[in-house]
Structures are given as structure tokens and as C-alpha cells.
Structure 1
Amino acid sequence: MTSTAPGWYANGDQWETYWDGTQWTDQHRPVAPPAMPAPPAPPSSVTPDAAPATAAFAADGALMKFKSHINGKNADVAIFSDRIEWLMARGVSGAKVTAGVFTAGLSMLATGVKNGKAGTEMIPMKAISGVTTKRDGMINTVVTVTSSSSAIGFRVSHKEAEQMRQLLNQLILA
């Protein structure tokens, strides 16, 4: 079994998240700005991010790809012309591990441990009724996508939030 070394890893183009060797933590920090800023993209186009796609999350034909926090968990998100799709890795939460340590494993025995398989979720574009943004600190914005049955908040960089809002509004109104 290979494991990724603990450390800071890019999560979008403006911030990093700390990987403790077993799971993503709630620790975030801004990425140091590059020596020369990249030229701005034309306002009418949205450039896909270079976020890696996994085998379970094929993002072929995606108009935009990025990393996000959804309900406090990291997710790979892709926006297509007909849907928004995201992949959230499943695994053992820090709370479950802590409870397992304090109860000598009895809580894990009682509730079980989910396997490491990832799952995708999706919202059809025709079900989206609104898109709102709200700043969340110095470097992040929460883009809330409201559908007929729920509201999902995608926590992304300010730049990605504006690109996402513009793209979704174009797709909803098309």
C-alpha cells in the first residue's frame, strides 16, 4: 500500500490544504503568489483548471474543473453543459478515529468502517434554480447552488467563484 507523505498540497490555485498522511485536515493556508502574475483570462471564457481527474471521475467534456470543499470535505468538481458533478473521497473520519481510540475500538466495531471507495454526486443543470456567492474569509468564497430539493455550497477561491458563477448563470439562462 502506497501512501502520500504528510504535507501541504495545492487545493485550487490560491490555497493549500494539509494532508496528515491519512486524511485531509481543516488546516488551510494561502499559496505564495507567483513571481509574475498570469495574464487575466478573457471575461467571456472559462478555462478549465488543471485538477487531476481520477478513473472514477471522468471529466471529459467538462467546461470547468476545480477542487472545492463541500460540507468540510475536499471534492473534485466538474461543470458540464447539462450538470454539475463532484467526487468526494470516502473514508474514516477524524471523529470516528478519535472515538475509536477513546473507546478502545468499540465505537468502530459498533458503527463499522466505510471502505475507501469514492462516490460521485450530481445536480442536473435544469434543476438549478439559483446561484449565489458569499465571501468566506480572505481567500475563499462559497458558491451556493440551489436546486428544487437542496442547496449545495462549493467553497472555492474568489477567482474560481466568479468563473463558476458566470458559467452557471450562462448555462441556466441558455
Structure 2
Amino acid sequence: MAQAHPFDTSSNASLSDAEVLDQAEVLVDEFLAFIRREEIWNDILDVNILPASKSTLVNAFRLVIATESRPDYRRQLAKAGLMLARFHRDVGPRMSLIPIRPDDASPHADPEMNAREQQAYLDRFDAAYSLIGPDLTQLGSLFEASMRLAARRDMRRHAQHDASGSDGTCIWYGPH
């Protein structure tokens, strides 16, 4: 199980931009390792097992995507960041969505659970699963905005490079 992230977020006001970006990259790398290790697939998990708070991870992904210079890698980061939609508050133990054939026994037919407990489990699963779609939409919008920001930055950088003088110096045309 993941532990709380060791970074002290209370002192972030004194960090340089480079240090904030470095922390964001560490958080994203830690989350990527976590989802590889845990094999999330179609599961729904509680936010308390994340390596940092969900909002911190979302912001870390946004920052890393916005500052990434490689468009393909930005898209891969955004896709990985969408896995955060699988994490929600008060989910409790990990819930797995496992497809079964109609003729198979119910995967929730636990002999230790009575009908009411089984129904409570299914209701809890349905409630948690219903949060994923809206969360995917919201996260997709946030990460798309970060990708657009990075693309605009790349376009400005290329435009400035194209406008440079023959000696390699850039010609300044005022603020953009």
C-alpha cells in the first residue's frame, strides 16, 4: 500500500519554479510506478492509497504536461493521468470490475455475505463507478488545457527561433 508523500507542501511558497516542477515530476513518476505496480485496470480504489492527495497529483500532471516539450509524451502523460478517475473518497477496500459470462456464478455470491450485504456491496460499487465518467470528463478537460498551453508555448518558441537574426540572436517584437 502507498504511503503519504514525503514532500512538505506547507513550505511550497518558498520553492523556486524549478523546485516546484521537480516535485511535480517526482509525484507523476511515483504515481506512474504505483499504477504499474498495482495494476489498476478497471478497479475503483480509495484516494487514501494514492502516493499524494488526488488534487496534488492532478496539479502535478497539469504542470508536467504543460512544461513537457514532446507532444507524444504529453499525450501519454494525459492518458496516464486519467487513471486518477479510478480513485475516490470513501470507497473502502479495492473494488474490481471483472467481466464474466452470463452462465458463470455471480462473483459477488460470497457465502459469508447475506443478501442485504451483497446488495449493499453492489450499491456501493454502483455509486463509486458512477463517479468515474464525470471525473474522466473533468480530468480530460484539465489535461487538454495543459496540452494546449504547451503547444502554444512550442509555437511561440518556434516563431521566435524563426525570427532570429542571421547571427543566431533573437529579434524581440514585444510582449506576446
Provide the TM-score with structure 2 as the length reference: 0.28
Q: Which has the higher contact order (CA 8 A, sep 6+)?
A: 2
More strand by share: 1
Bigger Rg over Cα: 2
More helix by share: 2
